[in-house]
Amino acid sequence: MHTTIARSASLRSHRQSYCSPARQPFISSLGPLAVKKFRNHASSIHSTTAKAGPEDQWPAPASYKLWPTNISIPSGAYNALQAIEVVLTLALVDAGFSGDWSRIGVLTADQEHAAQQVCWFILAAHSAVAAAAVRRALGPGYPPLLAGARGLLFGSLGLYDVHLRCQLREDEQQQQQRRQ
Closest CA to 19 of 49, 44, 39: 39
pLDDT for 130 equals 96
Contacts of 43 (CB under 8 A, 6+ apart): 18
pLDDT for 15 equals 46
**Is-contact 107 95, C-beta < 8 A?**
yes
pLDDT tens per residue, range 132-166: 999 999 988 889 999 999 999 999 999 999 998 88
pTM of the entire predicted model: 0.63
Q: What is the mean pLDDT of residues 11-37?
A: 49
CA atoms within 13 A on the CB side of 14: 19
For the stretch 129-132, contacts whose Cβ atoms lie closer than 8 Å and that sit 24 or more positions apart, written own/partner, are: 129/155, 129/156, 129/158, 129/159, 130/158, 132/159
pLDDT tens per residue, range 88-123: 999 999 999 999 998 999 999 999 999 999 999 999
**Is-contact 116 97, C-beta < 8 A?**
yes
Q: What are residue 72's DSSP bridge partners? A: 65
* Dist CA 42 CA 48 (whole Å): 10
Closest CA to 161 of 141, 136, 138: 136
What is the three-class DSSP state of 64? Answer: strand
